[in-house]
Each structure stands twice: as structure tokens, then as C-alpha cells.
Amino acid sequence: MTKKSFIPFLVVTALFVGCGSAEKSKNADNPLLLAYETPFDVPPFDKIKDEHFRPAYEEALRVHNLEIDSIVNNTEDATFLNTIVALENAGSLLQSVSSVFGNLNSANTNDSLQAIAKELAPVLSAHRDEIFMNGKLFERVKTVYNNKESFGLDNEDSRLLEETYKGFVRSGANLSDADKEKLKSINSELSVLTTTFGQNLLAESNAYELVIENKEDLAGLPEGLISAAAETANAKGKEGKWVFTLSNPSVMPFLQYADNRELRKQIWEAYQSRSSNGNEQDNNETLIKIANLRLEKANLLGYPSHAAYVLEESMAANPANAYALLNKLWTPALNKAKAESADIKAEIGEDGFDFDVAPYDWRYYTEKIRTKRFNMSEEEFKPYFSLTAVREGAFATAHKLWGISFVALNNVPTYHDEVEVYEVKDKDGSHLGLLYADFFPRESKRGGAWMSSFRNQSTKDGKRVAPVITIVCNFTKPVGDQPALLTFDEATTLFHEFGHALHGLFSDVKYSSLAGTAVSRDFVELPSQIMENWAGDPEVLKTYAKHYKTGEAIPDSLITKMQNAGTFDQGFATTEYVSAALLDLDYHSTTKPITVDAKTFEKNSMDKIGLIEAIIPRYKSPYFQHIFSGGYSAGYYAYIWAEVLDSDAFAAFKEKGLYDPATAESFRKNILQKGGTEDPAKLYKAFRGKDPDPIHLMNKRGLN
């Protein structure tokens, strides 16, 4: 999730430079350029084809340029309405086209869409730069900013003005003409490189298959995973075999359960070497170019590093504060990870072996230790976490907290037959928004999980324009007659993305650019991560975790096991995350260009903090999509920063009741509804009445 700008711009989006008259003649029939005659005015996915995007972008560009020209050439004195609000409203068609293209390119891409994205990314970058570096336009913005007291602005108006002015300054409006041209060139090159990075990673991830022909090599694997691998093999024309891929629902349980150490090593090596194989999809040189160009851009804008530039707009405020939090966690986390590694080494010895703990051993032996120590296996929990049960559990939790309800729709077009759509109604029955949900992996979808929107919430002519929100995940698919059964980690991921969705759905602001998740990265994870706490709370588990065959609620004995193992393996979990967050900051806090290769840089970064060889960063550099193509550069620390907030915020509910109406209403009013209309620290204090206490995070992770 990234902070929005009033200029419609998506990193994954591209523009068409120009088209002939034949293409222009198609615009009259282009569904992207016509009023949506669909329920709730959602995109008509059943009518949209790949060939519609180029002419749609050309027309959207043309219209946006006319809108900008009308603001620039307005002969009236610059005012808040004719300049700032006019800018806010300009580009609505471009935003509409971009939202459809960007979401499809992430969740249901193909060669055609990827070619459009890569070929035309610089055009959108140039378009954005032409607006932000337009001297006459900036003079009007600056005039309004310098005379803000004369316009009678309310708090939200003032916030929009502040963000607009900063957007111009931080985009180079104050640079000399020569430096503006340098910045444009940098932005153009970055738009291509970041797009390339993501496409390389997707191609590398899709290319690998671990094909197993001998049934003996499946020893240790759960039946559900074996059946899924057989279905994957059949779909790939390899009947009678088993195929495992690098999608998380395939590779991670294989590493966790496969007895065959050599096969674990094979799939692990493929996983951790993605986009680092010296082929066309190798990202090592690309990521160094990205990091150095970001530094050059920051220097042009007057900042010592890219991290200093980025974090100026965050709760952390500067790299030193982000480092301080991570370093505070690092030592206790590493100590705990070393103790866990010693336990694994002892377990290896009990198996009669004497090899050192390797990364492809960690999950396997951790599962064996978990089974012995707590008499539990993740497999015994999965029957209670069917996708349907978890989804309905998330919906029920939101209903108990805020009275909202979810109605499944079958009359709304979708971009894939696996996508579900729900109308979300407020407690009084009024329409709150729409929620799309896309849960299963496929080769056309990038990895991970995320929330986005097809339409942001706003207010038009005094009426609330309802948002259209989407959450996209990569969960274990159904196998045969068995429904999709999730791990508890997948269940918490669903609650997490659902929390992001609530942030978008509850938004109630005037301006789209300040709506929903348009907040700093280290605040945007608060609404998502706090929902994870309900996912694992014993009281809540009893209401939704029900056996998919019998309907029986999860027994107290299993909940007790979960609680007893609550901080088990948290040394590993914290260490692999914090090491990645520190790696991100190292790449982006440097004040000099990086002259070593990516492998050397990463090794130096990890050696500096003493990361043990049995653990690697959650994301190695060539597949660290969050920071090199996903909008989280110098911001991956945000998850742990927000965990300080969510742990403290959930403590408020535990103190007063999990579904306490007053606490829930305060969280909705002060956090979920406000979007980016106020300073996040003020919003949090308005909810909690005080600053967050980190002790709740330390307790949750067992690090104190």
C-alpha cells in the first residue's frame, strides 16, 4: 500500500504514446471510456479487452492535459477552489483507467498487459513530471498556500492544500530547469526498472517446477498437499506425477514436512535464488541501478539519502528512528533465534545426523519440535480453518464491532471466475461499499497478498461516493471434494487484508486523494494488523474456527495448544523480518552510490548484524518486491512500527471487551474513517488517549 497522490499514478500502470485514427475511432465503443452501466458502477470486466487499454489511456491523457491547461490558464486569481480542488478533481478518467489496468496487471496479467506496462511506463512518468514541474501551475498552488488563511479552510481542506503543496515541492517544482530535466530522466528510468523487476520475478517464480515421480519421495507430506501436487501435475500435462511450485501454499509446506532433505534443498535453492540466476530475469544489476537512481533523485531534491526523503512523510520521520526500533528488537530476537537453532541441532542429532542447521532444515525440524513439545501439528488445525469459515469469521467480527453486513452478489462482473463480490452495508442498512475477494494462486497473479481499490471513496455534491475495494491473496486451493483448508498463518493473512479493506470501506472524507489508505506506510498497517489479533483470540476462534465436515467448533484442547505455543519460533519470525527491514534501510540510507554488486552488498549488510547462516532475510535482494517494485522502499520497517500501534490498540479492546461498542466506534471514528486527513500520531492519540506502549509488542513476540 502506498500513499496516494492527487495525480492518478500507479507504479504498475503505463500509458500509450500515440495511436492512429483507426484506433481513435474505436473509442466510442471502448468500455473504459463509457459510463459504466453496471451494478454499483463497477468496471465492466466482461467487456474490457486488452486492446482497449492503449486508446483508453490516450484519451484519458488528452482529457487530463486539457483539465490541467484550464487550471494553468485560468485568468482569475488563484483560489483554493479553482486551483487546489480543481487539481484534485482533474484526471478522474485517468484514475479510472489506471485502477483497472493496475489491478489486472497485478492479479490477472498476461503477456499483452505486461508488454503494455513495460513499454509505456515512462510515458506516465513523464506525464506526471510535466504536471508537477509546471512552473505556472506551481505558482498558482504556491499562491494559495501562501494565502491559506484567507480562504476559510476547514481541517480537511487545509490537509489537502498542505499535501498538494508538498507534492509539488517533493516532486521537483523548485528545481532549476536543468535539474528538472535530470529528475525527469531519473523518474523515467526508474519507472522502467521497477516494472522490469516485478515482471522478472513473476517469470522466474512461474518457471520452476519440482517434479516428483517416485511416491517414496513424498514421505512426510500431508495428504492434502500430495493431492494438490497431483492436481497441479495433471493441469500441466504430467499425469501420474506430482508437481510442486514456488507459490507459498506449495513450497512452504513442502519445506515444513518433506522427509527428503535433498528435495527440500532443491526447492529451497530455487526459491532463494529467484531472479539471481544470471539469465534474462536476473534482478541483481537492476536493483543496484534502482537504489543508485533513488539516491541521485534524493540528492537532487536536497536530501542526503532516499530514506531521508521517504521517511520525512512517515511517523518515523527519519532513518535514525526506524533503525532505532529495529535495533531494539534485533538483539533479543537474534538471541532467541540462536536458542531455537540449538534446539534444531539437537533434534538433528536425535535423528542420528551431524550436519549443521541449513535454511531448508529450519521449518522441517521446527515442526518436529513443535509436535514433541506441544503435542501439536499445524495439520490438525487446518480442518477448522476452511476458507469459508475464516472469511465468515472476519465478516462476523466486523459485524460485532461495527454492525456492518456482507451480502454476496452474483450480478456483478469480475475479472476472473474465482473472484467473489460482496455488497457491504452499514449498521443502518445503507450502502457502504463493495468488496472484491480473489483468494487463490495462479500464474497470472503475482505472489503475496494485498488490498487495492477500483474506486476510492470521496464526496461529490455533498453525497458520499462509495468505494470499490479489492483484496488479493494466494491461499491453498480446494483439492477434489475438499474445500480450501488454510493454515493459521493464512487465516491471519485474510484477517490482515480484510483490515486494509475496512480502512478503505469505512473512509468518509471529502477528497479521494486523502481517502482510506492514503496515509503513511508505518500507519497504514495499523488497521490491517489489529484485525490479526481477533483472528487468534480464543473467544473469537470458538465462533468461527469450525470443522469443515462436522461443523464442530475448535476444541479448547487445540486452543490451549495454540496458546502454549504462542511465542514458539518467534526468534526466527522476528529475525527473518527485521533482517529484511534492515537490508531495505541499508540500501536506501546510503549517502554514496553503491559500487559493489547486490550479493556483496547484502552479505555485508547481514554480516554487520550477525545474522546466523541458518536464517536468511525474509526477502533476498533480487526478489524483494516490496522495496524494488512495490512502493515500500525505505518502508519495510513499517510492519513492525505498526505492530507497536496495533498491539497497544488491541490492548484497549482487551481492557474494555473485545467488542466494546464505545472502543470500536472510537477506532472507526478516529482511525478508519479519517484516511489521511490528519496527522496519524494525533489520530492515534485521539483513539487511545495516549501514545502507544511498546511493551505490548514485546509481550506478544516473547522478546522481553
Which residues are known to be catalytic? 497
Task: Count CA atoms closer than 13 A to 556's CA, side-chain side.
Answer: 0
Q: For residues 445 and 109, is the Cβ–Cβ distance under 8 A?
A: yes
- Rounded Cα gap, residues 153 and 163, in angstroms: 14
Strand locations in 450-608 (E): 450-455, 458-460, 463-465, 468-472
Report the b/e string of 165-181 with b at 16+ CB within 10 A: bebbbbbbbebeeeebe
Closest of 184, 202, 318 to residue 588, by C-alpha:
318
- Rounded Cα gap, residues 594 and 296, in angstroms: 11
Closest of 396, 406, 403 to residue 539, by C-alpha:
396
Cell numbers representing residue 88 in the block: 484534485
- Rounded Cα gap, residues 657 and 680, in angstroms: 25
Question: 3-class SS at 496?
Answer: helix
Task: Please identify which residue in the block is written with the cell numbers 526478489.
Answer: 623
Please give the single-letter amino acid code of residue 215. K
CA 75 to the chain's CA centroid: 43
- Rounded Cα gap, residues 413 and 39, in angstroms: 9
Task: Please identify which residue in the block is written with the cell numbers 486508446.
Answer: 55
| CA-based torsion, 610, 616, 618, 623: positive or negative | positive
Question: 3-class SS at 437?
Answer: strand
Residue 538 has φ and ψ, to the nearest 5°, of -55, -40
Residue 469 has φ and ψ, to the nearest 5°, of -110, 150
Cell numbers representing residue 192 in the block: 522502467
- Rounded Cα gap, residues 450 and 471, in angstroms: 6
Cell numbers representing residue 43 in the block: 468496471
Question: 3-class SS at 629?
Answer: coil
DSSP state of 648: H
SS (H, E, C) 358-408: CHHHHHHHHHHHHHHHHCCCHHHCHHHCEHHHHHHHHHHHHHHHHCCEEEE
Q: For residues 612 and 642, is the Cβ–Cβ distance under 8 A?
A: no
Closest of 618, 592, 591, 613 to residue 603, by C-alpha:
613
Angle between helices 177-207 and 284-300 (to 10 degrees): 160
Closest of 526, 448, 528, 449 to residue 496, by C-alpha:
528
- Polymer length in residues for the chain: 704
- Rounded Cα gap, residues 258 and 639, in angstroms: 31
Collect all residues with Cβ–Cβ distance below 8 Å to 176 and sequence separation of at least 6: none
Task: Please identify which residue in the block is written with the cell numbers 509446506.
Answer: 253
Cell numbers representing residue 52 in the block: 482497449
Residue 23, class by beta-carbon neighbours within 10 Å (0-12 exposed, 13-18 middle, 19+ buried)? middle
